[in-house]
């Protein structure tokens, strides 16, 4: 992407912008777009805030759909048949070192006029608490339950745990339910991350083993490895699927 994507080049002076463009021109095949430094920085923050706002819309729909007894993935699928509608998919929150962070820079620079961006951040930051509430409901009445938390990364098929809602949910569940065993499943790591390593009721487990032992199966990341889980493996278990993986 460093080579193929268009690049916004912001210079503190026109000469600085021109020199920056000349450097990028030596290797970048995308369009080189020159502007001032503040606009360039704002453009980057805007890209990630746009994503965050759209994800928040999907996450808010998932909360409303749960209250109304609607399958949110079917709802979005139907709405997206409109030629000018393209709703994203809901999830357990928003992670990564960009989308979950950058909108706050805009909010902090102009709190008065950034209400939509701030609200989107609050919706996405609040989704993990809702997920934990769903798991608590599924565990009601069970003695010393076992929860299989599938996925720790902030998105599918990577090992990046930065600002990951899946990791935070797994940690918060273990801390809130000391009598429960939490089986953390992350195919892309070989050991428990530091955020979980000190918790006595958490262990790193393989997918099949975790599901077999679990009372509640919590899907937090749609890794390819989880898509092939047979429906028969889930019989008799409560499932909280935040990604619509097993519709």
Indicate which residues carry an active-site annotation.
Answer: 44, 98
DSSP 45-61: HHHHHHHHHHHHHHHHH
Helix, strand counts (H, E) of the chain:
9, 7
- Cα separation values, 146 from 209, 239, 240, Å: 12, 12, 13
Q: How far apart are CA 108 and CA 216, in angstroms?
A: 40
CB of 220 within 8 A of CB of 166?
Answer: yes
Task: Say if residue 75 is exposed, middle or buried (CB neighbours under 10 Å; 0-12, 13-18, 19+).
Answer: middle
Short-list 43, 48, 61, CA closest to 123: 61
CA distance 179 to 175: 9
Q: Length of the chain in residues, anyone?
A: 247
Pairing of strands 216-219, 202-204: unpaired
Taking the alpha carbons of 123, 60, 137, 158 in that order, is the dihedral positive or negative? Answer: negative
């Amino acid at each position: 992407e460093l080579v193929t994507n268009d690049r916004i080049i912001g210079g503190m002076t026109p000469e600085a912008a021109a020199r920056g463009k000349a450097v990028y021109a030596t290797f970048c095949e995308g369009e080189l777009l020159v502007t001032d430094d503040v606009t360039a920085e704002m453009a980057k923050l805007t890209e990630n805030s746009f994503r965050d706002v759209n994800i928040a819309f999907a996450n808010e729909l998932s909360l409303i759909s749960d209250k109304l007894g609607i399958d949110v993935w079917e709802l979005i699928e139907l709405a997206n048949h409109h030629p000018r509608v393209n709703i994203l998919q809901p999830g357990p929150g928003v992670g990564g070192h960009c989308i979950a962070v950058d909108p706050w820079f805009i909010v902090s620079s102009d709190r008065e006029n950034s209400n939509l961006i701030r609200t989107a951040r609050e919706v996405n930051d609040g989704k993990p608490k809702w997920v934990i509430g769903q798991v608590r409901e599924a565990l009601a009445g069970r003695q010393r339950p076992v929860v299989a938390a599938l996925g720790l990364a902030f998105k599918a098929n990577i090992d990046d745990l930065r600002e990951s809602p899946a990791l935070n949910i797994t940690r918060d569940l273990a801390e809130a339910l000391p009598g429960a065993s939490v089986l953390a499943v992350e195919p892309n790591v070989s050991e428990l991350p530091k955020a979980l390593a000190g918790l006595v009721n958490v262990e790193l487990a393989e997918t099949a083993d975790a599901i077999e032992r679990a009372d509640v199966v919590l899907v937090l990341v749609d890794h390819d490895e989880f898509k092939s889980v047979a429906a028969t493996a889930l019989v008799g278990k409560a499932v909280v699927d935040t990604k619509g993986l097993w519709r």
